[in-house]
Amino acid sequence: MLKKGKDFLMKSYLRAKSSISETNFLTVSGVSVIIKDPIDFEMSSKGLKNTIETLPKHFLTNVDYIIFGNFDFLRKNNYNAAYNDGAIYALNTQENNRDVLDDIVHEIGHAVEDQFQSFIYSDMQLEKEFLLKRRILKTEMKKRGIDVPYDMHNPEYNEKLDRYFSDVIGYPVMTSIVQGIYYSPYGATSLNEYFANGFEAYFYHKDLYLKKVSPVLFDKLEKLEIGG
């Protein structure tokens, strides 16, 4: 999902703040939640509040805003949400409340990744775990007659590889292949998404399967929870 870099949309959204009524603006744990465009799903403000407040407070240092809107840059990239420069942008059209909360926790994971990048990555252990899984995944794919035409040894995000996993192979097939390798297919996308996918599993789904399948990642998240 969208990562670093300046985004000038934020200033224009805040300049339009005069149109924000009490019913589409709230603050949760110091994070401003803005409903820029009408949402077409049942969003529980209590559910959003409870989800955010269960996270350690130090995880929200880099999150200033959560903005729901009809964002072209999200639709163009087929994203439901993205973290960028202190803000989480989320589409105003989604399947259900649970999916929205899942996406928001995932993007908070990217904010935490930015904040604690040195702790997460400097010892190279998480990258080693991720790349080992990529090698295992490539072997499993070959057994099924799938020869991935993109570099599987680079941990950085590759849009073509992402599209190959999601659109060519498809997540239903990917789900069966990654069993016992990754927590979910999206975790195979890149090292950054591997972390955020695990963050979501640990703090939102509270799924101990993550410890079994990704012990290094689980250990990093456990230590981050108590302050690194």
149: Cβ contacts below 8 Å, ≥ 6 apart: 164
Backbone angles phi and psi of 91, in degrees to 5? -65, 145
Q: Tell me, what's the pLDDT at 1?
A: 59
81: part of which helix (H) or strand (E)? strand 81-84
> Structure pTM?
0.88
Report the pLDDT value the prediction gives residue 95, as an integer from 0 to 100.
72
- Residues in contact with 84: Cβ distance below 8 Å, sequence separation at least 6, in sequence order: 2, 3, 4, 5, 7
Distance, CA of 73 to CA of 81 (rounded, Å):
10
CB 137 within 8 A of CB 188: yes
- CA angle 159-1-177, nearest 5°? 65
Start-to-end Cα distance in the chain: 24
Tokens of 126: 């998480």
- pLDDT given for residue 96 in this prediction: 66
Q: List, edge to edge, every strand of the sheet that includes 31-35.
A: 25-28, 31-35, 65-69, 87-91, 81-84
pLDDT digits (tens, 9 = 90+) for 5-63: 334 454 444 444 433 333 577 888 899 999 988 888 777 778 888 999 999 999 999 99
pLDDT of residue 228: 57
Distance CA 36, CA 15 (A): 12
The angle, 0 to 180 degrees and rounded to 10, between the axes of the packed helices 191-200 and 125-143 is 100
Give the chain's residues under pLDDT 50: 2-8, 10-22
Supply 144's token pair: 């099924």
Per-residue tokens: 12: 């224009």
Q: Which residues contact 91 (CB under 8 A, 6 or more apart)?
A: 68, 69, 70, 71, 74, 75, 79, 80, 81
